[in-house]
């Protein structure tokens, strides 16, 4: 059977690339019948491929911090790519990481992102709770047990830890405020991860000022630093205002650390999947009582490790290849999602 040549929306993985993308790219390259072409505008506009696989299509449009001329050039190139995909009827597969458009996308960016959506032939869902506007296949987000292999830290009693990119919707400001209302001086809170803006970093720094129990590292974490930071925690707290899919949750669980996350159906499913004592939830705005209650809960007996067998990477490449072939068959029949 002819191999499927797939153009992915990510560039060639580097040390700072999202581990999910790096591990998936490696899994695809190990899979007979798949040829991976990582993204560049030269390969996208002039190269040869039979399927496009999108993850976060907004990355194709560029980041908001670039000069206006650079952003406009990226938008023009994206429009040319979209025109090529439209005219050639190239099937587009989309992994649904986020269920809404980026909050900071402008009108033209939203127009281009909706164009990508209209061209999507088949969607890959990371959980069964995600709604899809068309044909879809669920391929669960893989675990990180084989990725985060650096030295682990001894657990620090009473240590609460946030880790990951700091964005407004992730509720880190509310976490700091809730923690400062906790009267127990034996507890500590760490915030580790690069902030999405200088203003947000300044806000969090101001909120934490005056409480020596709170430590901030608002910068990039290497893999080894992330392992050391997460494993030192008694509880990892991810206080997102909205959470649907989260690699940070799986990173913590892959390192055998319990998590406190928003109460959602997806997180309830995850709690049932991994076993009792690993996933704790809060409803509404995070409070000091939520933090104290979750910490008390994680001190009760639980299994030695969360159950993540269903998220092994061994079959990921073959599962994606099956989706690519489905998308090609639909495109050949003239059907769009």
Give the sign of the dihedral formed by CA 146, CA 149, CA 153, CA 154.
positive
Instruction: Tell me how far CA of residue 63 lies from CA of 28, 84, 173, 274, 287, in angstroms.
Output: 27, 23, 24, 36, 34
Could you give the C-alpha distances from 126 to 100, 111, 198, 266, in angstroms and in order?
A: 15, 25, 32, 10
Regions in the chain scoring below 50 on pLDDT: 64, 334-337
pLDDT at residue number 335: 46
Write down all domains in the chain, each with its CATH number in brackets: 4-142+313-332 (3.40.50.2000), 159-310 (3.40.50.2000)
**pLDDT value of position 21:** 97
Per-residue confidence (pLDDT) for residue 64, from 0 to 100 = 47
Q: Whole-prediction pTM value?
A: 0.91
pLDDT digit string, tens, across residues 99-151:
877 777 788 889 999 999 999 999 999 999 999 989 999 999 999 999 999 99
Whether 128 and 269 have beta carbons less than 8 Å apart is answered as yes
Tell me, what's the pLDDT at 9?
96
DSSP assignment string, 202-233: HHHHHHHTT-TTEEEE-S---HHHHHHHHHT-
Q: What is the distance of C-alpha 209 from the center of its chain? A: 30
pLDDT at residue 332, rounded to an integer: 66
């Amino acid at each position: 059977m002819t191999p499927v040549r797939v153009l992915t929306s990510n560039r060639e993985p580097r040390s700072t690339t999202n581990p999910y993308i790096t591990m998936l790219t490696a899994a695809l390259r190990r899979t007979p019948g798949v040829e991976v072409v990582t993204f560049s505008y030269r390969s996208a506009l002039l190269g040869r491929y039979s399927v496009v696989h999108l993850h976060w299509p907004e990355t194709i449009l560029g980041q908001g911090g670039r000069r206006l001329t650079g952003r406009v050039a990226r938008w023009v190139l994206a429009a040319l790519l979209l025109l090529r995909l439209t005219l050639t009827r190239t099937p587009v597969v989309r992994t649904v990481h986020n269920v809404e458009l980026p909050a900071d996308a402008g009108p033209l960016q939203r127009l281009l992102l909706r164009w990508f959506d209209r061209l999507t032939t088949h969607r890959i869902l990371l959980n069964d709770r995600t709604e899809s506007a068309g044909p879809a296949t669920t391929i669960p987000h893989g675990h990180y047990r084989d990725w985060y292999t650096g030295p682990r830290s001894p657990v620090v009693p009473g240590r609460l830890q946030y880790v990951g990119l700091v964005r407004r919707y992730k509720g880190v400001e509310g976490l700091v405020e809730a923690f400062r209302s906790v009267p127990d001086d034996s507890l500590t809170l760490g915030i580790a991860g690069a902030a999405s803006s200088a203003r947000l970093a300044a806000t969090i720094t101001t909120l934490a000022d005056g409480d020596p129990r709170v430590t901030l590292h608002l910068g990039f974490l290497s893999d080894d630093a992330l392992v050391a930071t997460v494993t030192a925690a008694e509880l990892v707290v991810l206080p997102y205002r909205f959470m649907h899919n989260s690699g940070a949750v799986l990173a913590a669980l892959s390192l055998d650390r319990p998590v406190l996350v928003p109460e959602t159906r997806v997180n309830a499913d995850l709690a049932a999947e991994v076993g009792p004592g690993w996933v704790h939830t809060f409803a509404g705005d995070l409070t000091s009582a939520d933090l104290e209650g979750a910490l008390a809960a994680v001190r009760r007996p639980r299994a030695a490790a969360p159950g993540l067998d269903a998220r092994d990477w061994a079959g990921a490449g073959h599962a994606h290849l099956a989706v690519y072939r489905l998308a090609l068959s639909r495109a050949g029949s003239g059907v769009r999602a």
